[in-house]
Amino acid sequence: MYFLFAKNLFRLISLSAILLLAACQPPEAEVWPENPGGNRLQIVTSFSLLQEWVEAVGGDAVVVRSFVGPEGDPHTYQARPGDLRKMVDAAVVFGIGFEFESWLPRLHRSSETPAPLILLAESLPAESLLDGHHCDEHEHGHDHHHHHDHLHDLPDPHLWMDIRMTQKLIDLIEAELTTIQPEQADVFAENAKAYQEKLTLLDRQLVSWISTVPEENRKLFTGHDVFAYFAERFGFEVIGSALGSASTETKDPGAGEIRELIQRIRDSGVQVVFPEAGSDSRAVRRIAEEADVAVAPDLYTDYLSLPDGPAYTYTEMMRHNVRTIVEALGGTVADEDE
Ligand SMILES: [Zn+2]
């Protein structure tokens, strides 16, 4: 046991050195809670939403730690030397896949952890997924931009914007945890069922809120391309996004693209646009100003807020988003529904 530990440690030190050379930002102080030990399954997730879902299914049988926490953007996360060590004792590592967290597969490989990497969206049947044409464009806000032409063929990874898709992720998490620890199958099944019921109620509530929005107002212009599943589920049309249609070579959309986006907003009759927390909302605001339309409060799409924010759980995140959208587009959210 000790030998194994020492061997792993040496391997990690040398890998860390390699990563350290490659990292282009100084390591920050980070919060990575100590493993409490015992026989709870140790699980690592890529980002805050996944952490919540795995904790919901795993309950007391698991300890879940996430590379990217609340208020952290998984698209632009930069792996740090200490990240390799985080996977050593894990039973499984969960990600979304389809380049949502493009740094994860390489990090997982470098760690040489025996823990499998499960990319949940990539485990779903292809026909249940929507096309994504711009995963790489999420990298705006980065200092580095590269050509990733092959990414244009990947499905859109933002499937949690449709609650029924999240329910499929919960099923996958339950199946995976049950495979790893079959003796806890009943616990996982019970936890998953309780969370699924919560999601079913949430979906129903959001459908009812959205039903108050006049059909002709159901149009979205957002920060980045993250609303495809949402639009499909709730009957919206995605007019465009500030960053999603920008070139991969520049940080912000160029002058020509901005003109085109403004024209699209005018043609569509959109009166209000929706920036997202964290993603570069400067571009959205600039476009809104030039198009002379209103700007709604920030939506949360790719991660949770801190506990005192409006999106501290997945259900609160979706309620916050839908409430914001409904109220900005002429619908109403009844107080007793809140
Ligand atoms: Zn995104």
Domain boundaries, the chain: 2-23+38-183, 201-337
| Whether 100 contacts 229, CB under 8 Å | no
Cα(225) to centroid of ligand 1, in Å?
7
Cα(282) to centroid of ligand 1, in Å?
16
Pairing of strands 41-45, 92-95: parallel
Helices and strands counted in the chain (H then E): 10, 8
CATH topology of 2-23+38-183 equal to that of 201-337? yes
Helix (H, G, I), strand (E, B) or coil at 96: coil
- Count the neighbouring beta carbons within 10 Å of the beta carbon of residue 15: 16
Cα(95) to centroid of ligand 1, in Å?
14
pLDDT in tens for each of the 338 residues of the chain? 444 444 455 455 445 444 544 444 444 445 666 766 678 999 999 999 999 999 999 999 999 999 999 999 998 899 888 899 889 889 999 999 999 999 999 999 999 999 999 999 999 999 999 988 644 444 443 333 344 444 457 999 999 999 999 999 999 999 999 999 999 999 999 999 999 999 999 999 999 999 999 999 999 999 989 999 999 999 999 999 998 744 333 467 788 889 999 999 999 999 999 999 976 788 899 999 999 999 999 999 999 999 999 999 999 999 999 999 999 999 999 766 55
Cα(287) to centroid of ligand 1, in Å?
20
**Which token pair is 219?**
């149009």
Q: How far apart are CA 223 and CA 63, in angstroms?
A: 33
Cα(278) to centroid of ligand 1, in Å?
10
2-23+38-183 has CATH 3.90.1170.10 classification: no
- CA 282 from chain centre, in angstroms, equals 21
The correct CATH number of 201-337 out of 3.40.50.1980, 3.40.50.920, 3.90.1310.10, 3.40.1080.10 is 3.40.50.1980
Q: C-alpha distances in angstroms, 316 versus 105, 106, 276, 321?
A: 30, 32, 15, 8
Cα(319) to centroid of ligand 1, in Å?
18
Q: What is the DSSP string of 19-60?
A: HHHH--SPPPP---PPP--TTPEEEEESSHHHHHHHHHHHGG
Cα(226) to centroid of ligand 1, in Å?
6
Cα(39) to centroid of ligand 1, in Å?
35
